[in-house]
Amino acid sequence: MHLYRRIREARMVASSLQSTRHPVLAHIIPIRRCNLSCAYCNEYDNFSAPVPIDQMLRRIDLLAGLGTKNITLSGGEPLLHPQVDEIIARIRRHGILSGLITNGYLLSPRRIRQLNIAGLDYLQISIDNAVPDDVSMKSLKVLDQKLVWLSRYAAFAVNINSVLGSAIRSPQDALTIAKRARELGLTATIGILHDGSGQLQPLAEEQQRIYAEFARSQPTRWFQFERYNAFQDNLVRGLPNEWKCGAGSRYLYICEDGLVHYCSQQRGRPGIPLQSYTQEDLDREYTSIKPCAPYCTVSCVHRVAAIDQIRQNPLAALHRFFDADDTGTSQLPAAVRGLMWLFAPESNTGRPRRAGLVLLRLLGLSKH
């Protein structure tokens, strides 16, 4: 199962490198309602009904028609949708990678097995603190048993994301949460809390220190890339990123009303119904300038942009994403070391390696 998912991921990356004319990732909302009410959140309500299943399935089919490679259910709390398994199964039927972002409260051994059967590929839980407070109930204390069940029963990959930001009272909890996730064989990442439009809220010195400690504690084996996040490394220091946001093209956010938005933090733009969204819209948004880009904290869109940066200049992009780390090249994930070797010029002639050129040609990135 694990190997099969890796092969499908590699195919997704290869096809996203080959062409810029399809979405790499779409987030879709099956229900806006949430069973929690985190103080910093602007993405939920406490009353909305689930999107009817026929509309959800139609939206999945439309995303497949646009060539989307990865569809993640978000919310609100997507597990409140009574037919979430059917939606995931439809995503998989199209050969698309399927993900789910949840607060974890509704997970049980039975629910996890149902998600296995539906064909879920990834699940992410955000945990904000060690014990609940009036900002967030997404706490390790409440969710630890769910993590144990996930480590025992999940056939899908599980990532635990914790956040740093001014609303979080005990930033050191992020380290405790990551340690526990790794003990259970799950991966851990860290996010930065944003303001109401997805923009950076500067981190205090203590939070920056914790971020650095967290990054150092991330494993660097084989295909593990969680440690490397050049976008976030800049933001943590209060620095802007120079990049092109592909929202509306390489990344789509589909709200409960079936409208396409740039992202959860820039709703209303472009605000076009998914059934009317065309290749022309995808092409236009690929090159449109988003003024919110320099201090944007929406990390999934950063990751999508990384694929396009590698597409444009593989070696420069690999150095940009992995050189900032202080572990040295020998500790980089094996896949990255392999790619750096392939794309680096030969030391004796200074010319590009033949194997690297062949790979670029196979990916359609070079005509030579």
Which of the ranges 107-115, 145-153, 263-271, 333-341 carries the binding residues for ligand SF4, by CB under 6 A?
A: 263-271
Report whether 264 contacts 252 (CB < 8 A): no
Cα–chain center distance at 285: 20
Tokens representing 339 are 């790619």
Q: Which helix (H) or strand (E) holds 162?
A: strand 157-164
Nearest distance from C-beta of residue 25 to ligand SF4, angstroms: 11
Among 165, 171, 198, 258, binds ligand SF4 (CB under 6 A): 198
Nearest to 252 by CA among 39, 96, 131: 96
Nearest distance from C-beta of residue 259 to ligand SF4, angstroms: 15
Among 125, 186, 235, 245, binds ligand SF4 (CB under 6 A): 245
Nearest distance from C-beta of residue 269 to ligand SF4, angstroms: 7
Which of the ranges 13-21, 37-45, 51-59, 318-326 carries the binding residues for ligand SF4, by CB under 6 A?
A: 37-45
The span from the first CA to the last CA of the chain, in angstroms, equals 37
- CA neighbours closer than 13 Å in the CB half-sphere of residue 126: 21
Query: Which x/- pattern over 60-99 shows residues binding ligand SF4 (rule: CB under 6 A)?
Result: ---------------xxx----------------------
DSSP structural state of residue 202: P
Residue 196 burial class via C-beta count within 10 angstroms: exposed 0-12, middle 13-18, buried 19 and up: exposed
Nearest distance from C-beta of residue 146 to ligand SF4, angstroms: 13
Residue matched to tokens 């880009």: 293
Nearest distance from C-beta of residue 180 to ligand SF4, angstroms: 19
Count of positions on this chain that bind ligand SF4 (CB under 6 A): 25
Tokens representing 32 are 């806006």
What distances in angstroms separate CA 29 from CA 52, 90, 262, one per listed residue? 12, 15, 14
Is residue 34 part of the contact set for ligand SF4 (CB under 6 A)?
yes
Is residue 290 part of the contact set for ligand SF4 (CB under 6 A)?
yes
Is residue 37 part of the contact set for ligand SF4 (CB under 6 A)?
yes
**CB nearer to ligand SF4: pick between 198 and 314:** 198
User: 3-state DSSP call for residue 146?
Assistant: helix
DSSP structural state of residue 82: T
Cα separation, 106 vs 291, in Å, equals: 38
Is residue 295 part of the contact set for ligand SF4 (CB under 6 A)?
no
Is residue 36 part of the contact set for ligand SF4 (CB under 6 A)?
yes
**CB nearer to ligand SF4: pick between 256 and 325:** 256
Tokens representing 166 are 């001014």
Query: Which x/- pattern over 102-131 shows residues binding ligand SF4 (rule: CB under 6 A)?
Result: -x----------------------------
Is residue 263 part of the contact set for ligand SF4 (CB under 6 A)?
yes
Nearest distance from C-beta of residue 307 to ligand SF4, angstroms: 15
Q: Which helix (H) or strand (E) holds 150?
A: helix 140-153
R_g (Cα) of the chain, nearest Å = 20
Cα separation, 121 vs 73, in Å, equals: 12
Nearest distance from C-beta of residue 122 to ligand SF4, angstroms: 17
Is residue 165 part of the contact set for ligand SF4 (CB under 6 A)?
no
Contacts of 286 (CB under 8 A, 6+ apart): 20, 21, 246, 249, 250
Is residue 265 part of the contact set for ligand SF4 (CB under 6 A)?
yes
Nearest distance from C-beta of residue 222 to ligand SF4, angstroms: 29
Residues that bind ligand SF4 (CB under 6 A): 34, 36-38, 41, 43-44, 75-77, 103, 138, 198, 245, 247, 262-263, 265-266, 290, 292-293, 296, 298, 301
